[in-house]
Amino acid sequence: MGRYVPHDSLESPRFSGVRTFMRLPNARDLPNSDAVVVGIPFDTGASFRAGARFGPEGIRSASHLLRPYNPLQGIGIFDHISVTDFGDIPIVPGYIEESYEAIRRELEVIHRAGVVPIALGGDHSIALPELRAAAAIHGPLAIVQFDSHADTWDSYFGKRYNHGTVFRRAVEEGVLSPQQSVQVGMRGSLYGASDLEESRRLGFEVMSTQTVRRLGPEETVARIRERVGESKVFVSFDVDFVDPAYAPGTGTPEVGGFTSAEALELLGGLSGIDLIGGDVVEVYPQYDGPAQITSLLAATVAFELLSLLASVKKANVEQSGGTEDGLDH
C-alpha cells in the first residue's frame, strides 16, 4: 500500500475537513506508518494554569495552515515518510498515575511497531510516560529538551509527579541517559540559586538562554549534536522556550526568551539525529488569543520534527541505493 499523506490543499481548501494534524488521515495502521502524531490531552500535572488538555485540539486546528514541503530543511516530508494522526490517548483527568499508565501502554505499542510517535501535549508531565514507553523498546535515551525550565525539581505540594519534576524522575528511573542529554533555554526566576546546579548534578548539560545567546545558533546546534552523538534521541519541546511575545498561550511563561524563528533554526540544525520520538507540550489555547500563534508555533515544531525524520529516511535510502517503495521496519 502507499503512504499516508495529507489531503491535498490545492484540491480542497485548508479550512475544510475534520481537524486532524496537517490534514493527515486519522488512522491506527502501524504496519503502514513511519510516524504518527498523537494527542495527549492531559493537564493534571500543571502547577499554575490549567487548560493544556485543549492543546492537541488547538495545535491540530492551527496545523491546517502547514504545507507539506519544508524549505528550511529542504524536504518534502510525505515524499519520504508515511504519517497518520493516531488520535488521542484516553487519559484520566485528575489522575496522574492512571494517565501515565495509559500513555505508556499506548506509546509502547507504537514504538514496538518501529513507528516514531510525535506527541501533542498536554502539560510537560506527559514526558515521563513517553520516555518510559520509548526506553522499554530503545533503552535509555538521549534527550534534547527545549524549555525555559529544567523540570528537575523534586516535588510540588509533597507530590512527586508533576510537570516540574519529570526529568528528575526520568533520571531516577533510568529511562534517559543524562550524559547524552542537554537542556536548552533555561531562564527566569528560580526557587533558589542551586536549582540549575541540581540539573547538572543529575548529569545533564544545561545551556541557559544566556549561554545560547552568547554562543549563537550554529555553536549551540554543534554542542547539542556533539552531546547526543549517535544515541537514540527524544526531542521534547516546551513552548515556553519561546518568548511569551511569540507564545503567550502557555502555562508558566518566562519573559526574555527566543523568537519562533530562532526556535525553528535550532530544530532545523538537528538534521541527521536518530530521532525515535518527540513532543511539543504546554500549549494552553485559552491564553493564546484569537491569532492562535502559540498553537501555530507548536504545529510548526511538530512539522520540523517530522521533517527531521523524513531527512533521515531520505538519507538512508540514498545511502543504500534503494527505493522508497517499502517501509523500512
Residue 147 interacting with Mn ion (CB under 5 A): yes
Q: How far is the CB of 190 from Mn ion (least distance, A)?
A: 12
Q: Point out which span in 9-17, 146-154, 186-194, 267-275 binds Mn ion (CB under 5 A).
A: 146-154
- Partnered with residue 182 across adjacent β-strands are 144, 205
Residue 30: HSE in the Cβ half-sphere, 13 Å Cα cutoff: 14
Q: Which residue among 43, 108, 123, 240 contacts Mn ion (CB under 5 A)?
A: 240
Contact 281, 126 (CB under 8 A): yes
- The residue (of 138 and 149) whose beta carbon lies closer to Mn ion is 149
**Chain-centre distance for alpha carbon 120:** 7
DSSP β-bridge partners for residue 117:
36
Cell numbers for 53, please give them: 488538555
Q: Which of 124, 169, 187, 232 binds Mn ion (CB under 5 A)?
A: 124
- 104 near Mn ion, rule: CB under 5 A: no
Site for Mn ion (CB under 5 A): which residue of 64, 80, 149, 313? Answer: 149
Pair 164, 254: CB distance under 8 Å: no
Q: Cβ of residue 253: shortest distance to Mn ion, in angstroms?
A: 9
Measured distance between the N- and C-terminal CA atoms of the chain, rounded to whole angstroms: 14
Beta strands in 18-79 (DSSP E): 35-40, 69-70, 75-76
Based on the shown chain and the rule CB under 5 A, indicate whether residue 34 belongs to the binding site for Mn ion.
no
User: Exposed (0-12), middle (13-18) or buried (19+): which is 57, by Cβ within 10 Å?
Assistant: middle
Tell me if 7 contacts Mn ion by CB under 5 A. Answer: no
User: From the list 85, 88, 151, 262, which residue makes contact with Mn ion (rule: CB under 5 A)?
Assistant: 151
Q: Does 238 bind Mn ion (CB under 5 A)?
A: yes
Under 8 Å between Cβ of 4 and 84: yes
Segment contacting Mn ion by CB under 5 A, of 143-151, 197-205, 210-218, 262-270: 143-151
- Does position 130 interact with Mn ion (CB under 5 A)? The reply is no
Residue 279 interacting with Mn ion (CB under 5 A): no
Using CB under 5 A, list all residues that contact Mn ion.
Answer: 124, 147, 149, 151, 238, 240
